[in-house]
Amino acid sequence: MGLAYKLRPRDPSYLWHGMPVIAFDGSKYKLPATEENRKEFDPKSGFDHEGKGHYPQCLVTTAYDVFRRIPLARTVVSVNGSEREQALSLLPYIRPGAVLLFDRGYPSYHVICHLRDHYDGYFIFRCPAKCTFPAVEQFVRSGRQEGYILLDPSNNFLEGLSRRQRKKAKVIQLRIIRLVNPDGTISVLLTNLLNQSRFSREEIVDLYFRRWEIETNYRNEKVVLEIEEFHGKSVNSVRQELYAVAIMSVIARILMVESSRVHKSSAELQFKNAIMTLASEAAILAPDDPDKAVEIFSELLAAISRVKYYRPKRPRASQPRVTKRPPNKWCSGRRQKLEKA
């Protein structure tokens, strides 16, 4: 991925306040239904286990540059793996001085403390307003639009520490910003971008929603590249293809930028066309005849430049997340009691 950064220079359009912006997120991928894959990635899959599907799944966690729109690092682990721990394992591959974006499943004292101690940069977390940190719930009740909170070490974090380590655990000061969703529900953003005069509330909110680019990347892999139609069925083949699809995405994005430069086009090019064109001429990456490869490469850039991407003129309506799982009869009564309380 260092080569991708070298080929896509430090342009202001790729930065926010002079900093790259990296989103972290995980997604589950359907795998070939072999015993080897079940054992490695999803031991409780299969119709022998009630409520489980036939195909095993794995958890893929990706660090994604949302302005350059390229994946930077990735892990492929068991579907029962922790998204938080996988995200933290990717930090050594991220250059210092970036802004890191995390969705609602990531905020915890442990994760925030780890970022504070091991990463030289900024972060933004989206956090639910209920069943969360006491300081967040107190802020939400106050009705304020933004402010500062002190995050105390959670009981879960303190449980695994010695007495001396507990004494060293300190409160963390964070900036908090209220978000009101279209359906009226409230969530907040937690960040160490503390300087309000340099980083306005509106800028931070707009930046956080650029995180959607990583969701688009997962969609492209599953829909455009059809990654879940694996060619190999072994564990090694699955891992190779999941890493290869990320590399192909990086190459396609670089070629799109190069095509725009060569053909002096300011229009946005279509990723699907770029990736399909690249796939049809992938042999040029290892040519026997260099002169012929240069000729094909020029034709490749021309083919990529021909198809433009036109973004919708009107924003699409927000769609709430819908689960297709049947309701759990054992939890429905408890949930109703909690809502009444």
CA distance 175 to 146: 7
pLDDT at 10: 67
Helix axes 290-306, 271-280, angle to 10 degrees: 160
Q: Which residues lie closer than 8 Å to 271 by C-beta, 6 or more apart?
A: 220, 224, 252, 253, 256, 309
Summarised one tens digit per residue, pLDDT across range 271-310 is 888 888 888 776 666 667 777 778 878 888 888 898 888 7
CA distance 56 to 46: 7
Of residues 293 and 43, the one with the higher pLDDT is: 43
Single pTM value for the model: 0.85
pLDDT at 330: 47
Output the six-digit token pair for 93: 């591959």
pLDDT at 319: 58
pLDDT tier at 215 (50, 70, 90 boundaries)? very high
pLDDT at 340: 54
pLDDT at 334: 47
Of residues 52 and 199, the one with the higher pLDDT is: 199
What backbone phi and psi angles, to 5 degrees, belong to 199?
Answer: -120, 100
